[in-house]
Amino acid sequence: MKLLRYGPPGQERPGLLDACGTIRDLSAHVDDIAGAALAPEGLARIAALDPASLPAVTGGPRIGPCVGGVGKFVCVGLNYSDHAAETGAKPPPEPILFMKATSAICGPEDDVIIPKGSEKTDWEAELAVVIGRTARHVPKATALEHVAGYCVANDLSERAFQSERSGQWTKGKSSDTFGPIGPWLVTRDEVPDPQALRLWLEVDGTRRQDGTTANMIFSVACLISYISQFMSLHPGDIISTGTPAGVGLGMKPPTFLRPGQVVTLGVEGLGVQRQRTVAWPG
């Protein structure tokens, strides 16, 4: 299934994308694409519905973040060997974890705001994992059983905030609109191998990233198992699994986003995002 949320920011309604590409309203059956609806029992109830029996949504509404009420947005740094190399870093011996503020989450076609004072806003196409079953100290062999589905994420980053000022990476990753997710959540049954997905990104029509999840240093299953050693993962939590080579920081010379550009990105089978960059309004 492809599950989504549509409507104005803060007023999104739950929906399902049918086989013909029509959005079907799920409001009579679930409150949101969040929490319990993402647990195995919740997804089973949605899967049992006949899409043709659900009201069709017309008028081309805004597509919101595909998951609501996200408790944690956990990100993984330097998880592709080619990306680590372009930044001058060695592949890490264990996953590098950091958090992105949930206030950064936005829709897949919402404008991306260049933060106040930013000179190094960068792009990062990523595969994101949405948890569907609580995970605590889970073994790698059964880790994927805790996945509700997958979606596209753009782990936007302000490199000066991230690396040139003291402290953690989080402040370079958490500006408003720095967490587009969607357009939809594709349930786990439709993604037989999360390590065999192509992902790509373009800026103003020029291809910048073109990679495959097969090149992850730490697989999706490994990441879930590893993260669950340090914190409980709950339904609706998101793990963004890292980005391949081709970020602006790695270009010669480094090249960063400025207002008025268009970023387009996608992951095989999971849909496409398109964002316009705009200046800080202040």
The answer to whether 248 touches 123, Cβ cutoff 8 Å, is: yes
Q: What is the pLDDT of residue 168?
A: 78
CA distances from 190 to 17, 95, 186, 268, 269 (A): 14, 26, 7, 12, 9
pLDDT tens, residue by residue, 246-264: 999 999 999 999 999 999 9
Residue 88 scores a pLDDT above 90: no
- Beta carbons within 8 Å of 229's beta carbon, 6+ residues apart: 137
Residues 256, 162: Cα–Cα separation, whole Å: 14
Q: Is 13 helix (H, G, I), strand (E, B) or coil?
A: strand
The answer to whether 215 touches 228, Cβ cutoff 8 Å, is: no
Q: What is the DSSP string of 24-91?
A: EE-TTT-S-SSGGGGSHHHHHHHHTS-GGGSPBP-S-PPB--SS-S---EEEEES-BHHHHHHTTPPP
The answer to whether 267 touches 198, Cβ cutoff 8 Å, is: yes
Across the range 229-253, mean pLDDT stands at 97
Element containing residue 161 per DSSP (H, E):
helix 159-163
Query: Per the omega criterion (within 30 degrees of 0), is the bond before 253 cis?
Result: yes
Q: Is 120 helix (H, G, I), strand (E, B) or coil?
A: coil
pLDDT tens, residue by residue, 184-226: 999 999 999 999 999 999 999 999 999 999 999 999 999 999 9
Residues 248, 237: Cα–Cα separation, whole Å: 28
First-last CA distance in the chain: 41
Q: Is 142 helix (H, G, I), strand (E, B) or coil?
A: helix
Residue 1 scores a pLDDT above 80: yes
In 3D space, the residue among 232, 134, 248, 128 whose CA is nearest the CA of residue 188 turns out to be 128
Tokens 């609580």 found at: 134
Predicted model pTM: 0.96
Q: What are phi and psi of 169, to 5 degrees?
A: -70, -20
Give Rg (Cα) of the chain.
18
In 3D space, the residue among 116, 133, 111, 112 whose CA is nearest the CA of residue 43 turns out to be 133
In 3D space, the residue among 176, 136, 130, 173 whose CA is nearest the CA of residue 3 turns out to be 130
Enumerate the domain spans of the chain.
2-53, 73-278
Q: What is the pLDDT of residue 167?
A: 72
Q: What is the DSSP string of 185-251?
A: EEEGGG-S-TTS-EEEEEETTEEEEEEEGGGBSS-HHHHHHHHTTTS-B-TT-EEE----S--GGGS
What's the CATH fold of domain 73-278? Fumarylacetoacetate hydrolase; domain 2 (3.90.850)
Residue 138 scores a pLDDT above 80: yes
When pLDDT is cut at 50, 70 and 90, the band that residue 144 belongs to is very high
